[in-house]
Amino acid sequence: MSNKMWGGRFATGPDAIMEEINASIGFDQRLYRQDIAGSIAHATMLAETGILTQADRDSIVAGLNEVLAEIEGGTFTFSRALEDIHMNVESKLREKIGDAAGRLHTARSRNDQVATDFKLYVRDTIDTLVTQVTTLQLALVTRAEEEAETIMPGFTHLQSAQPVTFGHHLLAYVEMLGRDAGRLLDARKRLNESPLGSAALAGTPYPIDRHMTAEKLGFDRPTANSLDAVSDRDFILETLAAATICAMHLSRFAEEMVIWSSAQFSFVRLSDKFTTGSSIMPQKRNPDAAELVRAKIGRILGALTSLIVVMKGLPLAYSKDMQEDKEVAFDALDSLSLSLAAMTGMVSDLTPNRERMRVSAAAGFSTATDIADWLVRELNIPFRDAHHITGQIVALAEQKNCGLEGLTIEDFKFIDQRIDSRIHKVLTVEASVAARQSYGGTAPANVLVQAARWKTLLTGQPHDPKPLGKKKHGTHGDGGL
Ligand code: ARG
């Protein structure tokens, strides 16, 4: 039997393989809500412009709402012979209301329909993702405030560099996530034009009102060129690009969780809720959630790569190639959403090992730069010379097998006579971080100011910086937002 939606000129139906390669219902059924909303807006506009009778409009809208209820109630049977969500919905509508259903497709095509549905879906998804990013940011800010004075080693090249505060480190991710949310919202702004009514590719001779449908569907305006409207997939590419960058940030953070939670580092303990045991090694607590977040970037970038290759070289306007946009995009956006949720859980539940971080922060002569800075500041030695002198001090400590704070004043004077005992006060990791009060620096006072700024930004409520030196909170978020 030929296809009842478009089979007029076909003598036979498609080969089984044709049906299999052609159908998208297996994955585009998740667009049902957007598809029905688009059809209701379209039918309403058709009636208001006199193209459809009010009676037909009423029965179409009522029928579509029944279809919606059936799908949501789980009683709808999707048919592969009907290819996609658009024809599955319309065919069910015909079963319910008869011939009037055939009038719904006046002045539109599946080409503008699918672009509209997918834009609506991506728009909703961006909103969810941005909310999730904000939730993760808030979890990080809460922890950052608690750990504003927790000192950990800061690394470059994954070698001990200078002490930093754990709160400062966590706030670095809040900054990255802030840009990620900005990129997603930026993509949302550009996508928010309605393709509906562009029809197959050229527009339509009916006196439709595209501004009306655009408005009903929450778009800012209709797209201005029908060819562009049905062949544009920039909106999903942009969203996937933003998603990829966000996933890359999560992957870096996840990698740090993996390193920090190892027995050798032991900077943090991940909760039982986000780790797994080993079936053979009873001592193991594997950071699987972090590892999987570290890995998800693969499929998210894969989706971006896949779709940009699909789109490359496609002539205008719609080609069926574009049906390949959905599976990868759904998978990528689902993966990012899951990663954000897992990260939020891990951040809220982790227990920092403050003592261990502090001891580690002092290792590797991490306050050597503070000595050099002291020589510059107090003895007016040029930085390059101060750097050289400090190098000799580090070498001496290495020789004596002690840390910089283990050196006596005689040791310092042996390297340079001009040094006096005041040097001792810059050798501690506490002094080192407290001194870094330059804007954006790691000092605990700065961390508290930045945490308050983010809380204000994220909640829309004014927040003052917490006072320094307050007794640390427990290891879990205090919620105080
Ligand atoms: N399922 C199709 C897609 O996802 C809908 C558009 C079909 N258009 C067409 N002219 N065959 O792209």
Which active-site residues does the annotation give? Answer: 157, 278
What would the two tokens of residue 166 be? 């754990």
Contacts of 100 (CB under 8 A, 6+ apart): 55, 56, 59, 60, 63
Q: Answer whether 107's CB lies under 8 Å from 208's CB.
A: yes
What is the tens place of the pLDDT at every residue in 57-114?
999 999 999 999 999 999 999 999 999 999 999 999 999 999 999 999 999 999 999 9
Mean pLDDT of 173-195: 98
> pLDDT class for 477, splitting at 50, 70, 90?
very low
294-349 pLDDT, tens digit each: 999 999 999 999 999 999 999 999 999 999 999 999 999 999 999 999 999 999 99
Residues 6+ apart with CB under 8 A from 94: 101, 102
Residue 158 to residue 473: CA distance in whole angstroms: 29
Nearest residue by C-alpha to atom 7 in ligand 1 = 110
CA 424, 427, 432, 438 torsion-angle sign: positive
> Which atom of ligand 1 is the closest one to the Cα of 322?
12
pLDDT tier, 7 (very low <50, low <70, confident <90, very high otherwise): confident
Of 5, 28, 84, 122, the one to substitute when testing ligand 1's pocket (max ligand atoms within 8 A of C-beta) is: 84
Distance CA 251, CA 474 (A): 27
| Distances from the Cα of 81 to the Cα of 16, 17, 480, angstroms | 10, 12, 55
**Where is pLDDT greater, at 111 or 477?**
111
Distance 398 CA to ligand 1 centre (A): 70
DSSP state of 324: G
**pLDDT tens for each residue of 432-475:** 999 999 999 999 999 999 999 999 999 999 999 999 986 555 44
* Tokens linked to 301: 């970038």
Ligand 1: residue of 110, 230, 327 to mutate (most ligand atoms within 8 A of CB) is: 110
Model confidence at 3, pLDDT cuts 50, 70, 90, reads: confident
Specify the residue with its C-alpha closest to ligand 1, atom 3. 323
CA dist 41 and 51 (Å) reads 14
Q: Report which protein residue has its CA nearest ligand 1's atom 2.
A: 323
Q: What average pLDDT does range 270-291 have in this prediction? A: 87
Q: Which residues pair with 162 in a beta bridge?
A: 154
Binding-site residues, ligand 1, Cβ < 6 A? 24, 28, 84, 110-111, 114, 318, 320, 322-323
Tell me, in angstroms, the distance from the centre of ligand 1 to residue 347's CA.
42
pLDDT at site 318? 97
